[in-house]
Amino acid sequence: MLKDEDDRSYCQFMAKTDTRDKLLQAGLEVLHRQGFNATGVQEITDAAGVPKGSFYNHFDSKDLLALEVVKAYAARNAEKRKQLREGSGSALNRLRRYFDSLNRIGEASEYSRGCLLGNFAAELSAQSAAVREGVQGAFDEWTTLVAGVIAEAQRDGSVARDVPAKVLASFLINAWEGAVMRAKAEKGAAPLNEFMSVTFKKILT
């Protein structure tokens, strides 16, 4: 009897996390593809294959799902970030490989999705304080990571020290975001190639 009860509560727990995870994954996919305000809760529950009513058992609002989506999106490229931090080769080579690998992400969709962080910053900053702060936090963490590797390149002499690593990192992440946004407007890779060219000829030198 005790065992049965344990099983049942374990199964209920699993079903609950499973539905939440499905909503999160579907939310990430749909919100990245078509944006926040163009997407209804029903589209997300349909994409997740769960009843519409179940949404509010897991998220109090679409805003709060979007905030979790920001965290899941930022966590998604953990392997790329690990390679940037501790992969083989010089800091400068790792930075080049890192941005190269980010640039390839959009190829399959003709760059039509853009970066979810940039999309949400543009669409939601004025609308949702929670999402705005989530996006800001993700950008800050990302900047700290890139700044650490630029500082390493400054220590080994491959990047000049005339501008602080943190400023260079912030500038480059924003420039990359702008290039991704322009690639979305052009449906082409030219802005990303220009980003690589100017970054490694003029900035990280």
Interacting residue ranges for a second copy, rule: CB under 8 A? 33-38, 112-114, 118-119, 121-123, 125-127, 132, 135-136, 139, 162-163, 167-168, 170-171, 173-179, 181-182, 184-187, 190-191, 194-195, 197-198, 201-203
- Name the residue nearer to a second copy (CB basis): 9 or 34: 34
Considering the complex, what minimum distance in angstroms separates the CB of residue 81 from a second copy?
A: 19
Considering the complex, what minimum distance in angstroms separates the CB of residue 2 from a second copy?
A: 51
- What distance in Å separates the CA atoms of residue 67 and residue 20, rounded to the nearest whole number? 14
Considering the complex, what minimum distance in angstroms separates the CB of residue 17 from a second copy?
A: 30
89: left (phi over 0), alpha (psi -120 to 50) or beta: left
- Name the residue nearer to a second copy (CB basis): 144 or 197: 197
- What distance in Å separates the CA atoms of residue 151 and residue 115, rounded to the nearest whole number? 25
- Name the residue nearer to a second copy (CB basis): 26 or 159: 159
- Residues 6 or more apart in contact with residue 24 via CB below 8 angstroms: 65, 68, 69, 72
- What distance in Å separates the CA atoms of residue 41 and residue 161, rounded to the nearest whole number? 49
35: left (phi over 0), alpha (psi -120 to 50) or beta: left
Considering the complex, what minimum distance in angstroms separates the CB of residue 85 from a second copy?
A: 22
Considering the complex, what minimum distance in angstroms separates the CB of residue 136 from a second copy?
A: 5
- What distance in Å separates the CA atoms of residue 59 and residue 154, rounded to the nearest whole number? 44
Considering the complex, what minimum distance in angstroms separates the CB of residue 97 from a second copy?
A: 20
- Name the residue nearer to a second copy (CB basis): 22 or 113: 113
- Residues 6 or more apart in contact with residue 60 via CB below 8 angstroms: none
- Name the residue nearer to a second copy (CB basis): 54 or 158: 158
- Name the residue nearer to a second copy (CB basis): 27 or 114: 114
**Residues 111 and 189 sit within 8 Å (Cβ to Cβ):** yes
